[in-house]
Amino acid sequence: MKIKEDFVLRKVADSYVVVPVNKLTLDFNGIINLNETGAFLFEKLQNDCEKADLLKAMLDEYEVSEEKASADIDTFIQKLREADVLE
C-alpha cells in the first residue's frame, strides 16, 4: 500500500496536516490532521510498503507493545482508506 501522490504531509507549527494537491483539490474538501505517530506512518507510506514494514518501523522508533502498535496501524490504515488517501 502507498499514499496517493496527490496528498502531501505538511508541518504547521506543532501540528501535522495532510492536504490534497493538483486535481484532488477539487474533489477532496478539507485537510487531515495527524499526530506525530500518524505523520511517521504517513511518511513511511510515501513508499510502497506492507503492514509488517510499518509495524517493524514503529517498534524500532517508539517504545510500544507489538499489540498496541498493530492495533494503532490498523486504525490508521482504515482511516486513510475511508478518506481515499491510499492507492
Q: For the segment 42-75, what is each residue's pLDDT rounded down to a tens digit?
A: 999 999 999 999 999 999 999 999 999 999 999 9
- Residues in CB range of 63: below 8 A, 6 or more apart: none
Considering the domain boundaries, does residue 2 fall inside one?
no
27: pLDDT confidence band, cut at 50, 70 and 90? low
Considering the domain boundaries, does residue 71 fall inside one?
yes
Q: What is the DSSP letter of 62?
A: S
CB 34: neighbour CB atoms within 10 A? 19
pLDDT at position 16: 95
Considering the domain boundaries, does residue 62 fall inside one?
yes
Considering the domain boundaries, does residue 87 fall inside one?
no
Considering the domain boundaries, does residue 1 fall inside one?
no
| Mean pLDDT on 20-28 | 68
Structural domains counted in the chain: 1
Considering the domain boundaries, does residue 75 fall inside one?
yes
Residue 48: domain span: 7-82
pLDDT at position 51: 97
Considering the domain boundaries, does residue 48 fall inside one?
yes
